[in-house]
Amino acid sequence: MPTALVTGSARGIGRALALALAADGFDIAIHYRSSRQDAETVAAEASRQGVRSTAFQADVTHPRQAHRLIEEVHRHFGRLDALVNNVGNYHLGPLAETTVSTWHEMFASNLHSTFYTCQHAVPLMRAQGGGRIINIGYSGAEILKARPAITAYAIAKTGVILYSKALAKSEAGNGITVNVISPGVMENSVTKPIQEIPMGRPGRLLELTAAARYLLSPEAGYLTGITIEVAGGWNL
């Protein structure tokens, strides 16, 4: 069976992604930083779908731990066909009150962690003849618009998109696709400005996982370097 690693998959979007891919027949590596019990519960749920699933601990904001995570997953399952970078903390607050530690945390969790895991996963994917990478962005991150309440987060997510495009171009000849899924206001979002969404409702996790399932399907093998916004028309 193909193997997928979903970072930050003990809860929320990551959990939904992991279980959706398990339903599609992927052996699943569940990643967590501190939520061990939740991660093991998700791994057990995934296993009930007839696939192998194991929980792995790492703080992927540290390059050595991110490297260790990729190595452990590859050694355990024998291959790594898909990497979904879902880790990414969120900060909402006045720009003037943003601390240096919060600023660095937004970049470390959203952008740097994505770089660290990809840098170590790509050589393994090359060696096995290809692979798929999905990085989670943010709706509107491609628009250069002032977002004072989430400045650090928004900049980091724009960086994720630019990095993903560069990696997609670099690895296209090696059978590795790199794409971005950018959620808007989802059912589990911290804030829900429904009045700003043309569809008038938050997105369902099922709608977001559908995009990931497509990008990891055989039919999406010619898609790389794109961003799919699951946002109900938000930011148009």
DSSP H helices, the chain, are 12-23, 36-47, 63-77, 100-107, 113-127, 151-171, 205-215
Residue given tokens 């997953």 in the structure block: 73
DSSP 108: I
d(CA 84, CA 199): 27
Rounded CA gap, 126 and 118, in Å? 12
Separation of alpha carbons 67 and 31, rounded Å: 13
Q: From residue 108, give the alpha-carbon distance in Å to each of 31, 84, 119, 154.
A: 17, 17, 15, 13
Of 32, 138, 153, 222, which is the active-site residue? 153
**Strand 176-183 versus strand 3-6 pairing type:** unpaired
What pairing do the DSSP bridges indicate for beta strands 82-85 and 131-136? parallel
134, 135, 139, 142 alpha-carbon torsion, rounded to 10°: -110
Radius of gyration of the chain (CA): 17
How many whole angstroms separate alpha carbon 36 and alpha carbon 61?
17
- Our answer to whether residue 153 is catalytic in this structure is yes
Catalytic site residues?
Answer: 153
